[in-house]
Amino acid sequence: MTNAASEFLRSAAAKSGDLRHRQILRTSVDTYNTAVARGKTRFVDWEAARRRAQAIKWEAVNHLDNYLLQFEARVKERDGHVFWAENGEQARKYILDLATARGVRTIVKSKSMVAEEIHLTTALEQLGIRVWETDLGEFIVQLRNEPPYHIVTPAMHLTRSDIAQLFKEKLGGVNTDDPEKLVAAARAALRRAFFSAEMGISGVNFLVADAGMIAITTNEGNGRLGSSLPKIHVALTGIEKVVPRLEDLAVLWPMLATAGTGQAVTCYNTLVGGPRGKDEVDGPEEFHVVLLDNGRSELLADVEQRDVLHCIRCGACLNVCPVYRSVGGHAYGTTYQGPIGSVLTPHLRGLHDFQHLSYASSLCGACTGVCPVRIDLHHHLLHNRRNAVKAGERAWGERFGFRAFRWTMLHPTWFAALGWAGRLALRTVNALGLGGTKLDPLRPWTKERAAPAIPARSFRSLWKERCGTN
Amino acid sequence: MEQTENSGRERILHRIRAALSGGPAHPVRESDAEIFAQIPDPLERFQSECATNHTECILTANATATAKVVGEILGPISGEIFLQDASELRQAATSFPTGLNLRWSSEGSPVEETQATVTLAEALIALTGSIFVSSACGGRSATVAAPLHIVVAHLAQLVPDLQTLFAAMGRDTALLKNSMLCLTTGSSRTADIEKILVLGAHGPKRLVVVLQRDQP
């Protein structure tokens, strides 16, 4: 087992046994579910909307080169810069070189999962640059030196009293657990940064090919301030974020909001096409778009799983996932958590180290059912499992176990005999008072759960009695 | 800045083309069904959406009434008020209360201490109770920088939905020449703490749309 896999098992076990943690997640997800159910009623036909969104992303991803080139040409027409980075190192170097060349001391950053993916903030801080996370949730986890817990809700695992304690320690003079006052404290701390930073870094929700504009969605307005006030704006994105037409946003903006938070539409859906125009009052002097590949073109080559690149990072699949809701976001040890993370990470960071995540699923299909762009997530988890077996990544014991299972299933008498022996063994263990101890073969299951009662008779014998056949 | 050095560009494009050379993924079946319901009364819808998303929508009959309403809201503000330098707002400002600290977009951009901004909008969207603004509305930061944002708009700017607006914009209109466009729906907010809604995260805590029935 790889280190990543054993670490996952360790923290997943710890978190799923942590009742306080589970209560916090449950409260958050319940609130989300209520909002989403209400949000969906605004659509006459949510399924039709999903099909439309899927078709938009299908068109974009299956003609990715054309749309990226169209986007690039438009941005250059407005004197913007487009840098194509093959991997995280190239993307980091471009941004670090730019910051150094311009003498940047302070950066205001709005939410970007791609920045997390390439560990951009740490690299900038090593240059001595002060990087302010400006999304409130990101600001909170930055103060805690933690990665985001969730794609959309980075501080989902914290209560207001956790945050109150944190602010008391880190932002002098703040002593309250009133959410409104906590938000005001963060606003005050970040406002100076917005007006003094030389560079703003943002993520991108959509690259609009025909308009040559990036679309940034935020509720707080931090994306707008960070792309307006500093003299340099850098937008960092994966190459798959492209959509063909501006009109596509009339569908995707509401869907992203509804799937992400249950809102009809997010507060600020901003389009930026370049630096400050000639006759404009303000805005950055420079506009840079960094397009990151980092394994995405390899995923594109996998026709079976190409639709993973349709993802709009709404986080809905995390919220509905029974595994995510038990183990939480940090246990995954990845930038992208939950079902989408389990599907995507083996492609971005290698099957060898991350194939185990595809087994962290009950295959219930809730993720596929909720995905606004209809990614076939739970089947992709199966595809990853198949690929891992083919690549010889699974333990020999598993292969042996499945062979034994197959043989037993094909030999009913042996199946019955082993079932009988198993029940006898469990009864003996319980009779000797060893139930729940290390000698109990069911211990991995029962140490966090109530043990099921051992049935007096087998399914086969009940069937035979009631139906008269074997 | 010097020309961007793009050694990875050709390699990425090459990889994308190689990846797609096997043909497109299995095509998807699109639906022609309506996604959003028709909006019979855009004004009524706009007002009810504003109520839901915490935008204050005030309907006025004409420019005189608009100026009076805006003046009354600005009256108690002692700090700087930043306004888009548009003839319509210059005209309105002549009847504002005296003593206000006004600064116009022709004189620079909003500052950290700016307490309120007053701008026009490019369009209003009934479906979601949104305003559509651009960098022409007093600049890129005027519509987000201060705790209070007042938008002066006209009934003729109201469109049923975003689809209608984008279709009308076409590809080469003046609107698309702006370096920034923004669909704004309500004031700045966050629910990052226990999913509890708090208004006024980084942008305006208060968004007021003064919707004038007649043309400027």
Closest to A195 (Cα-Cα) out of B179, B133, B146, B77: B146
Contacts of B37 in chain A (CB under 8 A): 44
Closest to A264 (Cα-Cα) out of A36, A1, A13: A36
Q: How far apart are CA A351 and CA A53, in angstroms?
A: 29
* Average pLDDT taken over every residue of chain A: 95
- Sequence length of chain B is 216
Residue A138 lies in a domain: yes
Query: Domain tally for chain A?
Result: 3
Residue A401 lies in a domain: no
Q: How far apart are CA A2 and CA A147, in angstroms?
A: 22
Do B166 and A247 make contact, defined as CB atoms within 8 angstroms? yes
Q: What pLDDT score was predicted for residue B1?
A: 46
Residue A248 lies in a domain: yes
Q: Cβ neighbours of residue B133 under 8 Å, at least 6 residues apart?
A: B119, B121, B122, B143, B151, B181, B182, B184
Closest to A286 (Cβ–Cβ): which among B1, B11, B27? B1
Q: Encoding tokens for residue A276?
A: 């400050």
B108 reaches A (C-beta below 8 A): yes
Please give the distance of CA A165 from its chain centroid, rounded to a whole number: 27
Per-residue pLDDT tens for B61-112? 999 999 999 999 999 999 999 999 999 999 999 999 999 999 999 999 999 9
The domain in which residue B165 lies consists of 42-212
Q: What pLDDT score was predicted for residue A458?
A: 87
Q: Using CA of residue A442, residue A444, residue A446, residue A452, what is the dihedral sign?
A: negative
Q: Encoding tokens for residue A132?
A: 């302010």
Q: Are A200 and A339 found together in one domain?
A: no
Q: Are A230 and A340 found together in one domain?
A: no
β-pair partners for A122: none
CATH number, residue B146: 3.40.50.10420
Whether residue A335 contacts residue A147, with contact meaning beta carbons closer than 8 Å, is answered with yes
Burial of residue B48 (CB within 10 Å: 0-12, 13-18, 19+) is middle
E-assigned strand segments in B8-135: 55-60, 80-83, 101-104, 116-120, 123-125, 130-134
B114 reaches A (C-beta below 8 A): no
Q: What pLDDT score was predicted for residue B32?
A: 83
Q: How far apart are CA A261 and CA B113, in angstroms?
A: 32
Residue A150 lies in a domain: yes
Per-residue pLDDT tens for A216-266? 999 999 999 999 999 999 999 999 999 999 999 999 999 999 999 999 999
Residue A356 lies in a domain: yes
Nearest Cα residue in chain B from A277: B179
Q: Are A35 and A53 found together in one domain?
A: no
3-state secondary structure of A180: helix
Q: Are A253 and A319 found together in one domain?
A: no
- Among A297, A331, A350, the domain-final residue is A297
| DSSP 8-class letter at A357 | G
Whether residue B69 contacts residue B210, with contact meaning beta carbons closer than 8 Å, is answered with yes
Q: Are A340 and A214 found together in one domain?
A: no
Q: Return the number of other C-beta atoms located less than 10 Å from residue A429's C-beta.
A: 19
| DSSP 8-class letter at A240 | G
Query: Domain tally for chain B?
Result: 1
Q: What pLDDT score was predicted for residue B5?
A: 65
Residue A434 has pLDDT above 90, yes or no: no
Whether residue B187 contacts residue B198, with contact meaning beta carbons closer than 8 Å, is answered with no
Q: Are A33 and A90 found together in one domain?
A: no
Against a cut of 0.80, is the pTM above it? yes
Q: Using CA of residue A127, residue A129, residue A133, residue A138, what is the dihedral sign?
A: positive
Closest to B191 (Cα-Cα) out of A133, A141, A31: A31
Residue B125 lies in a domain: yes
Q: Are A169 and A245 found together in one domain?
A: yes
Per-residue pLDDT tens for A343-400? 999 999 999 999 999 999 999 999 999 999 999 999 999 999 999 999 999 999 999 9
Q: How far apart are CA B70 and CA B47, in angstroms?
A: 18
Q: What pLDDT score was predicted for residue A353?
A: 96
Closest to B184 (Cβ–Cβ): which among A65, A83, A268? A268
Q: Are A197 and A218 found together in one domain?
A: yes
Contacts of A186 in chain B (CB under 8 A): 201
E-assigned strand segments in A114-239: 130-133, 199-202, 206-208, 213-218, 232-238
Q: Are A84 and A127 found together in one domain?
A: yes
Residue A307 lies in a domain: no
Tell me whether strands A213-218 and A206-208 are parallel, antiparallel or unpaired.
antiparallel
B178 reaches A (C-beta below 8 A): yes
Q: Are A93 and A154 found together in one domain?
A: yes
3-state secondary structure of B208: strand
B105 reaches A (C-beta below 8 A): yes
Residue A156 lies in a domain: yes
Q: Are A13 and A133 found together in one domain?
A: no
Per-residue pLDDT tens for A99-114? 999 999 999 999 999 9
Distance from CA of B60 to the nearest CA of A (A): 25
Contacts of B138 in chain A (CB under 8 A): 281
Whether residue B211 contacts residue B60, with contact meaning beta carbons closer than 8 Å, is answered with yes
- Sequence length of chain A is 470
Q: What ipTM does this complex have?
A: 0.96
Q: How far apart are CA B17 and CA A188, in angstroms?
A: 48
* Alpha helices, DSSP H, located in A173-320: 179-196, 222-226, 249-260, 296-301, 316-320
Half-sphere CA count of A69, side-chain side, radius 13 A: 11
Residue A151 has pLDDT above 50, yes or no: yes
Whether residue B148 contacts residue B205, with contact meaning beta carbons closer than 8 Å, is answered with yes
Interchain CB contacts (distance < 8 Å): A and B = 283
Q: How far apart are CA A249 and CA B18, in angstroms?
A: 29
Q: How far apart are CA A457 and CA B159, in angstroms?
A: 69
Residue A463 has pLDDT above 70, yes or no: yes
Place of tokens 């990052």: B192
Place of tokens 């708090």: B198
What does the pLDDT average to over B113-138? 97
Residue A303 lies in a domain: no
Place of tokens 């009809």: A264
Q: How far apart are CA B120 and CA B151, in angstroms?
A: 5
For residue B154, what is the enclosing H or E element? strand B148-154
Distance from CA of B97 to the nearest CA of A (A): 26
For residue A341, what is the enclosing H or E element? helix A338-349
The domain in which residue A143 lies consists of 47-297
Q: What pLDDT score was predicted for residue B172?
A: 58
Output the CA–CA distances (angstroms, integers) from residue A388 to A4, A300, A309, A368, in the order listed: 15, 19, 20, 21
Q: How confident is the model at residue B24 (pLDDT cuts 50, 70, 90)?
A: confident
